[in-house]
């Protein structure tokens, strides 16, 4: 989700498993009641007036709202192949969206919040007025802590992450002495929740089922609440909110998080009085240190920031890790190629903790980026125009215009990615080897991100643009500009660790005759199958 923090995004940025939805929504004893209400609302919604305000002078791509709901991927690809370098518009479930091509997005990415706002766009997309899903005045603190405290210190966290990974594999992954079918998606969600939780709240809380439950399900509950609210026209929502039980669950979860964190923070405040006290090194502490004096004992803020952080990070990262496993199972030849690289780089225990180790996994980096290219966000760059903007092609964007970038189309544009439909796990690695490529001479990529002092390469050179964490006008899976995902370096580190470990210890394949599991598409959200089984077999030699 975009960042749910700001409220969710492009994926609409709430990359939450779509097929969780029907079962969750329909669960419960009052099934028929819900079905009846849903059918009525669905009809109202489907036939409600199409006269939406659209003051941008740009062509429309005609498509039903149903297409936006259930096959946004195809909708964006089809419309992109028709308009490509032109600004165009689509009617979404929440009004008109103006689609900005890669050739023009560069003119917008540097604009200030008071002209082009990411925060307002996400806030509106997440219906924060009702869901309370917004970091508000703490948004900047949150991003800053991720950039400075987390990204800058990834190497220091590596031992804890590895320990956590080994723990969950030992306790929740099957033995796999023979080929063993396993539903990898739910396992990946728990694994990423554990790894992230270790850094977010520390080891005391992150292994408790109560924390796992609230940190994983908060995003799903929020997603369902937003979807349900969207079925009501805006004028009905002030009343309709009382029919959406998930809104109450969100409040309960926020209280639960606060209650779980309170004794931990109180103890830390007490311990800080002791001379020589060694502060814990996790997000709770970083935030505690960053909060102004009068908010240091407002534990609700801590709970809320933690759940927003979990919502922005757990499903996005676990979805991509799952997609990588599906791609590894399909492209078996890649397993030994990547394993060889992992063996070379992570040759002993200390190598896992070395500052530059993850950055050296360049083939693995390329594989993950290629998985993301074909399975990632449908749209990106969710923004709202706050002051009128004129683009160089003559398009006038009045205040109030809602923007999106057509990621699903850009990702398969042959001008940027030759043979775009082919999965080539080494695509970006080859580009890094050659440094220059057909598209690199066009100025479609923004300059590489500031050099992270992380497990990634310490200095980005000319080929930095092809790294998993690099962003640019044609590579917007992590967004663009000031609000680009500040957690992407951490995500890259987690995904590499999990894949490297699994590659070293297991062979992976699909059942005979089965193809790559079909992703779920729902409301701009694309997510890997939750139910598909992949076969794993433990390797005798690492």
At closest approach, how far in Å is the CB of 200 from ligand HEM? 8
At closest approach, how far in Å is the CB of 196 from ligand HEM? 6
At closest approach, how far in Å is the CB of 142 from ligand HEM? 5
CB 232 within 8 A of CB 41: yes
Question: Which residue's CB is nearer to ligand HEM, number 144 or number 451?
Answer: 144
Q: Residue 453, exposed/middle/buried by CB under 10 A (0-12, 13-18, 19+)?
A: middle
Residues lying near ligand HEM in the complex (CB under 6 A): 2-3, 5-6, 9-10, 13, 118, 142-143, 146, 309, 312-313, 316-317, 320, 377, 380-382, 477-481, 483-488, 490-491
The tokens describing 247, both together, are 């809104």
CB 166 within 8 A of CB 191: no
CA 252-319-415 angle, 5° bins: 135
Return phi, psi of residue 538, to 5°.
-65, 135
Residue 324 annotated as binding? no
CA 385-377-154 angle, 5° bins: 100
At closest approach, how far in Å is the CB of 52 from ligand HEM? 23
Question: Which residue's CB is nearer to ligand HEM, number 496 or number 516?
Answer: 496
At closest approach, how far in Å is the CB of 118 from ligand HEM? 5
Q: Which of 491, 473, 321, 488 is nearest to 406 (CA)?
A: 473
The tokens describing 279, both together, are 């502060």
Return phi, psi of residue 350, to 5°.
-65, -30
Rounded Cα distance, 329 and 138, in Å: 41
At closest approach, how far in Å is the CB of 147 from ligand HEM? 9
Strands 95-99 and 402-405, bridge-based pairing: parallel
Rounded Cα distance, 160 and 157, in Å: 6
Rounded Cα distance, 68 and 90, in Å: 9
Question: Which residue's CB is nearer to ligand HEM, number 118 or number 216?
Answer: 118
Question: Which residue's CB is nearer to ligand HEM, number 56 or number 146?
Answer: 146
Question: Which residue's CB is nearer to ligand HEM, number 3 or number 215?
Answer: 3
Beta carbons within 8 Å of 475's beta carbon, 6+ residues apart: 445, 465
Rounded Cα distance, 221 and 314, in Å: 14
At closest approach, how far in Å is the CB of 513 from ligand HEM? 31
Question: Which residue's CB is nearer to ligand HEM, number 120 or number 437?
Answer: 120
Question: Which residue's CB is nearer to ligand HEM, number 11 or number 228?
Answer: 11
* Residue positions counted in the chain: 542
Residues that constitute the known binding site for heme: 485
Binding site feature residues:
485
């Amino acid at each position: 989700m975009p960042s749910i923090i700001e409220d969710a995004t492009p994926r609409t940025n709430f990359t939450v498993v779509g097929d969780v939805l029907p079962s969750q929504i329909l669960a419960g004893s009052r099934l028929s009641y819900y079905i009846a209400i849903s059918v009525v609302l669905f009809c109202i919604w489907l036939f409600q007036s199409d006269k939406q305000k659209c003051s941008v002078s740009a062509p429309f791509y005609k498509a039903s709202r149903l297409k936006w709901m259930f096959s946004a991927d195809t909708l964006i690809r089809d419309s992109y192949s028709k308009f490509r370098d032109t600004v165009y518009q689509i009617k979404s479930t929440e009004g008109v969206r103006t689609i900005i091509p890669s050739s023009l997005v560069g003119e917008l990415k540097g604009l200030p919040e008071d002209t082009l706002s990411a925060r307002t766009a996400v806030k509106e997309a997440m219906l924060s007025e009702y869901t309370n899903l917004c970091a508000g005045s703490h948004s900047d603190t949150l991003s800053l802590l991720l950039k400075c405290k987390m990204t800058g210190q990834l190497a220091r966290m590596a031992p804890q992450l590895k320990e956590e990974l080994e723990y969950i594999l030992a306790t929740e992954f099957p033995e796999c002495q023979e080929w063993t079918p396993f539903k990898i998606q739910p396992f990946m969600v728990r694994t990423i929740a554990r790894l992230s939780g270790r850094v977010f709240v520390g080891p005391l809380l992150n292994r408790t089922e109560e924390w796992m439950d609230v940190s994983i399900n908060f995003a799903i509950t929020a997603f369902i609440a937003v979807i349900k609210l969207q079925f009501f026209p805006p004028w009905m929502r002030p009343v309709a909110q009382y029919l959406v039980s998930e809104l109450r669950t969100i409040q309960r979860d926020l209280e639960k998080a606060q209650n779980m964190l309170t004794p931990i923070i109180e103890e830390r405040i007490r311990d800080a009085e002791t001379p020589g006290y060694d502060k814990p090194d996790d997000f709770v502490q970083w935030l505690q240190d960053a909060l102004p004096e009068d908010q240091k004992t407002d534990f609700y803020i801590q709970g809320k920031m933690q759940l927003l952080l979990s919502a922005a990070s757990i499903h996005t990262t676990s979805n991509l890790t799952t997609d990588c496993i599906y791609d590894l199972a399909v492209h078996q030849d890649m397993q030994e190629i990547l394993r060889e690289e992992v063996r070379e780089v992570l040759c002993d225990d200390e190598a896992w903790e070395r500052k530059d180790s993850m950055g050296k996994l360049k083939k693995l980096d390329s594989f993950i980026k290629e998985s993301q290219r074909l399975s990632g966000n449908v749209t990106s760059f969710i923004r709202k125009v706050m002051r009128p903007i004129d683009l160089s092609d003559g398009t006038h964007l009045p205040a109030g215009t809602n923007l999106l970038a057509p990621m699903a189309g850009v990702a398969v544009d042959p001008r940027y990615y030759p043979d775009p439909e082919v999965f080539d796990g080494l695509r970006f690695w080859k580009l890094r080897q050659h440094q220059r490529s057909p598209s690199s001479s066009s100025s479609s990529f923004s300059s590489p991100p500031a050099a992270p002092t992380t497990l990634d390469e310490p200095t980005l050179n000319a080929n930095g643009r092809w790294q998993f964490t690099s962003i640019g006008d044609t590579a917007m899976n992590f967004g663009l500009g000031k609000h680009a995902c500040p957690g992407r370096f951490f995500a890259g580190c987690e995904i590499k660790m999990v894949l490297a470990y699994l590659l070293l210890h297991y062979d992976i394949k699909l059942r005979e005759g089965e193809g790559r599991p079909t992703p779920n598409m729902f409301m701009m959200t694309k997510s890997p199958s939750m139910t598909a089984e992949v076969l794993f077999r433990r390797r005798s030699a690492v």
